Amino acid sequence: MPADSFGSSAASAATATINRTYVYVVSLVAAISGFLFGFDIAVINGALIFLRDQFRLTEFETEFAASALLIGCVAGASIAGYLSDRFGRRRILILSALLFAASSLGAALPRNLTEFTCARFVGGAAIGVASVLAPLYIAELAPPQIRGRLVSLNQMAIVTGILAAYSVNWGLASLGPAGWRWMFASAAAPSLAFFLALLFVPESPRWLAEQSRSPEALAVLSRVGGRGHAERELRQIEDAIAQETGSFAELFRPGLRRPLVIAVVLAVLQQITGINTVLFYGSIIFKEHAGTASESAAIGANVIIGLVNFLATVVALWVIDKLGRKALLMVSSAGMALAEVSLGIAFLLKPPPGSLIIGTMLFCVACFAVGMGPGVWVLMSELFPTRIRGRAMSVATISLWVACVALTLTFLSLVEAVTVSGAFWIYATMCVITFVFVWRVTPETKGKTLEQIEGFWKR
């Protein structure tokens, strides 16, 4: 059977009257975690120039300072599934909001590299938790016909956070060497807003049903699509739960090994295609390899990249439920491969053409944002059965963050070993592998209920 063959969507799912305002508001609240995710990840880009000078960091220490957050992401993602399956999606998202706030203040006040990396590790734990639970929570609430768009709101929030971080960095760069402290502290306000907003959203209906709290699940689903929609959805959820054991070992049963492999491979490929070299080290690349004269100009170039990232994600938000996940992933990976081959060539020219390098990076970021960025997260949130979805998302997300740590910890060293051109040609090869994997292995999940997708793996 072809990888993208599923049965047609249930007629009831297609014709239900959905309370889109309610669904969008709740999804937007969950997606605030994505904003914090994007801000915390990107803020290091501009701060790193000043941080490296103030603490006199070596190349390895610079990589470690950039990676401390990501190591925390691995830790957070590793416990997010267990905690959310045990205590609920909403409660653990509230915990992540508190961790975000603590990290933003801690990273602004360190006296040495050790204190800084500890604070960033805490922020990474918050990101790890949120990166598992926000798309999961949205997917479990969303109707199938707009689920891709709603889960993509989380990616939209991530790129909004990235753009905000770049803009804040640029504005605060004028403060001089101490400006980096204010860059990190500025995340405290949205962290508090996230905490307060979470007090007013419901628990995931699928988690409530799993806990034998069906009346509460029915009430949430009724607000989404009315009583008839709620009763149909709840029956499907309960039927699916009745056939599942919910153990971690279930992930490795014959029927579920395939979605696990797909999710893990896509998660790793999303990172090792190299996009985060631009997001984390963009200022250093522009200043040291593209001939950008000043710190402020290098940070300002990142604002343009953040804006393109934002606009391309808007496009993805509107087309992912029309064109599908698979088509966007293939277009995205092919475009990134072309861009990274071109970057490698551009970096060989002497002097390096700054405008060409920035333009090619903009194209690369746009390609990522329209497909690989949101598409991988959407697929990861859709592929697994309800009862073990939290644990499965943790496995896939841990894999993603481990790959991200490996990329970030090795980029500067890789550039030193094989030149910046060689590094981007290696990433281009990973993009080609991604294209082939999506084409040959990855299924299309557009328009299918989570229960229909689960049924596919049982065939």
Residue range 195-247, pLDDT digits in tens: 999 999 999 998 999 888 999 999 999 988 888 888 888 888 888 777 665 56
Confidence at 126, pLDDT banded by 50, 70, 90: very high
In a domain, 151, yes or no: yes
Question: How many structural domains comprise the chain?
Answer: 1
How many Å apart are CA 23 and CA 20, to the nearest integer? Answer: 5
Q: What is the largest CA-CA distance in the chain?
A: 68
Supply 302's token pair. 């990142």
The amino acid present at 216, given as its one-letter code, is E
In a domain, 227, yes or no: no
Percentage, residues of the chain above pLDDT 90 = 33
The runs of H, that is alpha helices, within 186-324 are 188-198, 205-210, 214-242, 254-272, 275-289, 295-323
pLDDT of residue 195: 95
In a domain, 209, yes or no: no
Full domain range(s) for residue 33:
11-201+243-456
Rounded to 10 degrees, what is the CA torsion of 102, 104, 106, 111? 180
In a domain, 432, yes or no: yes
How many Å apart are CA 78 and CA 105, to the nearest integer? Answer: 24
Supply 275's token pair. 């996009």
In a domain, 1, yes or no: no
Q: What is the mean pLDDT of the chain?
A: 84
Residue range 233-269, pLDDT digits in tens: 888 888 877 766 556 677 777 777 888 899 999 999 9
In the block, residue with structure tokens 């390899």:
289
Preceding peptide of 353 cis, ω within 30°: no
Residue 321, SS3 per DSSP? helix
DSSP secondary structure, 29-91, as one string: HHHHHHHHHHHHHHHHHHHHHHHHHHTT--HHHHHHHHHHHHHHHHHHHHHHHHHHHHH-HHH
What CATH number did the domain enclosing 347 receive?
1.20.1250.20
Is the confidence at residue 362, as pLDDT, over 70? yes
Supply 174's token pair. 């004028």
Residue range 395-449, pLDDT digits in tens: 888 898 889 888 888 888 898 899 989 999 999 999 999 999 999 988 888 777 7
In a domain, 216, yes or no: no
In a domain, 155, yes or no: yes
How many Å apart are CA 301 and CA 293, to the nearest integer? Answer: 11
Who contacts 219 (Cβ-Cβ below 8 Å, separation ≥6)? 202, 230
Who contacts 323 (Cβ-Cβ below 8 Å, separation ≥6)? none
The amino acid present at 445, given as its one-letter code, is T
In a domain, 427, yes or no: yes
Q: Judge whether 101 and 195 are in contact, CB under 8 Å.
A: yes
